[in-house]
Amino acid sequence: MTDLRDWFNSIPLVTRYWFGASVIVPLLGRFGLLNAMWMYLDWELFIYKFHFWRPFTALVFYPVTPMTGFHWLLMLYFLYNYSKSTEEGTFSGRPADYLFMLIVNWLICTGLCMAIGIPFLLEPMVLSVLYVWCQLNKDTIVSFWFGTRFKAMYLPWILWGFNMVLRGGGINELLGILVGHTYYFLAFRYPQEHGGGMFLVTPQFLRNWLPNEVGGVHGFGQSTVDARRRAQAAGGRDGHNWGAGHQLGGDN
């Protein structure tokens, strides 16, 4: 129990609570302690019945059954790896900025899911974070099932293709890619590549609640890709091992 507690406390703050809630809440539903009918997202219930809690519960709840249990575990794996890597990397020492990123993605995702009729947000939200990480680390080589290796920029699309083939779905992945791309464009690409202003600025109350940590990477909207380009232009190296990607699907 001490080792488990130490491991859990080693997870970055925002990822820690999102990951923990995404484990506990679905398990409570699996064992009948929570009613799934009160958890899912629904436009009419939200607007006309004032069920304002549903966007929050739909973010962390997932209907765990013998048919969906493996996919839920896979989403937890991606959440842990890529939310943790994004919070420790680009948003290192800036929990308020990372929380604001999740809030922006969550608001966009909630609106789209209510319009399309998708009842749970966990999968598209995880894919949106994974997409942002992949865009910020495009040249990182990742390994997938069966020993396949490719650049991180292709990972969201490969996950979409696998899910479409294996489960006959794919809409959640496409939605997550759309949400992640919207955030990435507004927060990184547009301000840096097109000389535009900052559309997304972390509110001060979030900074007061989650102040920056000493030694963090400061400067919201500064991507690792652009930092690397500047280092190369100066004749230096960025100091990262860009060839060491995440091992996916249990391929060690």
Q: Which residues lie below 8 Å from residue 79, measured CB to CB, with a gap of 6+?
A: 15, 18, 19, 22, 122, 126, 129
Give me the amino acid identity at 160: W
Q: Identify the pLDDT of residue 157.
A: 92
Q: Identify the pLDDT of residue 196.
A: 61
Domain definitions of the chain by residue range: 71-233
Q: Identify the pLDDT of residue 128.
A: 97
Enter the pTM of the model: 0.82
Q: Which residue has the tokens 């894919």?
A: 127
3 state SS for 6-65: HHHHHCCHHHHHHHHHHHHHHHHHHCCCCCHHHCCCCHHHHHHCCCCCHHHHHHHCCCCC
Stated as kind and residue range, the H or E segment containing 143 is strand 141-143
CA distance 142 to 147: 10
Cβ atoms < 10 Å from Cβ of 109 = 30
As beta bridge partners, residue 150 has: 142
**Are the CB atoms for 249 and 144 separated by under 8 Å?**
yes
Q: Tell me how long the chain is.
A: 252
Residuewise pLDDT in 10s, the chain (252 residues): 688 899 999 999 999 999 999 999 999 999 999 999 999 999 999 999 999 999 999 999 999 998 889 989 999 999 999 999 999 999 999 999 999 999 999 999 999 999 999 999 999 999 999 999 999 999 888 887 777 888 999 999 988 988 888 777 789 999 999 999 999 999 988 877 766 667 789 999 999 999 998 655 544 444 443 444 344 444 433 333 333 344 444 343
Q: Identify the pLDDT of residue 194.
A: 66
The count of C-alpha atoms lying within 13 angstroms of the C-alpha of 25, restricted to the half-sphere facing its C-beta, is: 21
Q: Which residue has the tokens 């974070």?
A: 129
Q: Which residue has the tokens 């809030």?
A: 103
Q: Identify the pLDDT of residue 215.
A: 57
Q: What is the DSSP string of 174-218?
A: HHHHHHHHHHHIIIIIHHHHS----S----HHHHHHSPPPTT---
